[in-house]
Amino acid sequence: MKILLIGKNGQLGQEIDKQSVEKGHEVHSFSREELNITDSEKVKSKIESIAPDAVINASAFHNVPVCEEQPDQAFLINATALAPIAQVCSEKNIMFVTYSTDYVFDGLKGTPYVEEDKPSPVQMYGISKAAGEYVSLAYSKTSIVIRSSGVYGGKYGSRSKKGNFVLGILEQAKTEDSIEVAKEQFVNPTYAPDLAKATLELLEHRNINGIYHLANEGYCSWAEFAQEIIKDKGLPTKIIPVDRKGIAGSLSRPFFSALRNTKAEKLGVKLPTWQDGLRRYIAYLN
């Protein structure tokens, strides 16, 4: 398969790039500097000249508090920029894969969200990603929107987020005997290599489209995730679960935004548990 990858240096982008090569795909990967997703003419011309079987967009504007301050940028990168890509992919019958988030949900359902549940985001990041889902699906019959949750990976994590949750806890544990972590928000922490692997497996099923959930199996609160990180790393640090009532500063976050991968599972695409993903990440970091 010939793949054009946008956002190759992200937690997920790096893994898609690496695993695509390992699988024998022909990959044309671009960093933000090489191909900015907002430069629609350049993106369209790359798609036309490379003529890939699939375009994978691993780029995003997803620092959640920054999205509140810069809604224009959030909408531009997470939604508006996707329209011309979806359009050209549709015209040329190219699969267009783009990623969305559990934050398109308000978290009030109380059980894991399935693909058919209606988005109702409670902050700008989720609103811009829900718009991106709509744009991708409205402009093309070849779009695949993959929602994931709590993504982490790579030695340094996400540049825009200055790391990731795991790296943040490990850094704090160097200097603090105890760390307070939210106990009221539930997610599926997802290891980027597992998400990349499942994405490439999904693409083996030609002629699929629509929304798919791909997150590591099971779910936990951020406090339980932090406890598991400390346990796997064998540290003495104490995690203190606290109830922040879903509020971080002036920002609302969903209480229970865990996902269920019902559609992928039917195609035989299954991800390992979040505990398994975390163990492999800790081993990779050691």
Ligand X SMILES: NC(=O)c1ccc[n+]([C@@H]2O[C@H](COP(=O)([O-])OP(=O)(O)OC[C@H]3O[C@@H](n4cnc5c(N)ncnc54)[C@H](OP(=O)(O)O)[C@@H]3O)[C@@H](O)[C@H]2O)c1
Q: Rule CB under 6 A: which residues touch ligand X? A: 6-7, 9-13, 32, 36-38, 58-62, 77, 99, 101, 148-151, 158-161
Beta strands in the chain (DSSP E): 2-6, 26-30, 54-57, 95-101, 143-148, 151-152, 178-182, 186-187, 190-191, 210-213, 220-221, 238-242, 247-248, 251-252
Cα dist. 40→11, 76, 232 in Å?
23, 11, 44
- Please state, in angstroms and rounded to a whole number, the distance separating the CA atoms of residues 166 and 181: 12
> Which is closer to ligand X, CB of 25 or CB of 253?
253
> Which is closer to ligand X, CB of 32 or CB of 253?
32
For the CB of residue 269, give the shortest distance to ligand X in the complex, in Å: 17
> Which is closer to ligand X, CB of 47 or CB of 60?
60
Please report, as a single letter, which amino acid is at residue 108.
Answer: L
> Which is closer to ligand X, CB of 142 or CB of 188?
188
DSSP per position, 205-225: STT--EEEE---BS-EEHHHH
Matching residue, tokens 């779009």 = 143
**Residue with the CB atom nearest ligand X in the bound state:** 10
For the CB of residue 246, give the shortest distance to ligand X in the complex, in Å: 16
- Please state, in angstroms and rounded to a whole number, the distance separating the CA atoms of residues 85 and 47: 8
- Please state, in angstroms and rounded to a whole number, the distance separating the CA atoms of residues 35 and 38: 9
Cα dist. 110→20, 116, 255, 257, 258 in Å?
36, 15, 8, 8, 9
> Which is closer to ligand X, CB of 140 or CB of 254?
254
> Which is closer to ligand X, CB of 7 or CB of 121?
7
For the CB of residue 156, give the shortest distance to ligand X in the complex, in Å: 9
For the CB of residue 279, give the shortest distance to ligand X in the complex, in Å: 19
For the CB of residue 202, give the shortest distance to ligand X in the complex, in Å: 15
For the CB of residue 241, give the shortest distance to ligand X in the complex, in Å: 20
